[in-house]
Amino acid sequence: MLGRVLSQIFRFVFFILLQGLIFNQLNLFDGWVNPYIYIFAILMLPVETSRTAVLFIAFATGILVDVFSSTLGMHTSACLFIGFLQPLVLRVLAPRDGYEFGQLPTVQEMGLSWYLAFAGILTVAHHLWLFFVEVFRFSGFFITLFQAICSAFGTIVIMVIVQYLNFRPKSRTRS
Amino acid sequence: MRNLIQLIFRYHVFLLFLLLQVVAFALLFYNNRYHQTAYLSSANELVGDLYSKRNAVEDYMKLSEINDELALENALLKSRQRRAFYDLNENLILSENDSLFRQQFVYTSAKVVNSSVSKRQNYITIDKGRNHDIAPEMGVVANNSLVGVVKDVSDHYAVVMPMVNTNFRVSVKLKKSGEFGQARWTGNDPGVAEVDDIPKHAKIEVGDTIVTTGYSTFFPENVTVGTVRTKVINEGENFYSLTINLSTDFSSLSYVDVIINLLKEERENLEERVNDAG
Residue B138: count other Cβ atoms within 10 Å of its Cβ. Answer: 24
Mean pLDDT, chain B, integer:
81
How confident is the model over B140-162, as pLDDT tens digits?
Answer: 998 888 999 998 888 888 899 99
DSSP three-state, residue B182:
strand
pLDDT for residue A170 is more than 60: no
Neighboring chain A residues of B13 at a CB cutoff of 8 Å: 51-52, 55, 84, 87
Neighboring chain A residues of B30 at a CB cutoff of 8 Å: 72-73
Q: Cα separation of B214 and B82, whole Å?
A: 16
CB A47 within 8 A of CB A64: no
CB B218 within 8 A of CB B136: no
Q: Cα separation of A1 and A6, whole Å?
A: 9
pLDDT for residue A115 is more than 80: yes
ipTM of the modeled complex = 0.70
Q: Cα separation of B86 and B92, whole Å?
A: 12
Q: What is the CATH number of the domain that holds A114?
A: 1.10.1760
- Classify residue A175: in a domain, yes or no: no
CA atoms within 13 A on the CB side of B166: 8
CA atoms within 13 A on the CB side of B55: 6
Tell me the Cα Rg of chain B: 32
Q: How many domains in chain A? A: 1
DSSP B254: -
- Classify residue A98: in a domain, yes or no: yes
Q: For the whole model, what pTM was predicted?
A: 0.47
- Classify residue A72: in a domain, yes or no: yes
Identify which of A67, A80, A87 has the shortest CB distance to residue B24: A80
Chain B: give the shortest CA distance to residue A139, in Å: 20
- Classify residue A128: in a domain, yes or no: yes
- Classify residue A171: in a domain, yes or no: no
- Classify residue A60: in a domain, yes or no: yes
How confident is the model over B45-66, as pLDDT tens digits?
Answer: 666 677 677 777 877 877 888 8
CB B133 within 8 A of CB B142: no
- Classify residue A174: in a domain, yes or no: no
Q: What is the pLDDT of residue B25?
A: 79
How confident is the model over B88-99, as pLDDT tens digits?
Answer: 554 444 444 556
**Residue A12 lies in domain:** 2-166
- Classify residue A154: in a domain, yes or no: yes
A57 shares contact with chain B (CB less than 8 Å): no
Phi and psi torsions of B155, nearest 5° = -60, -40
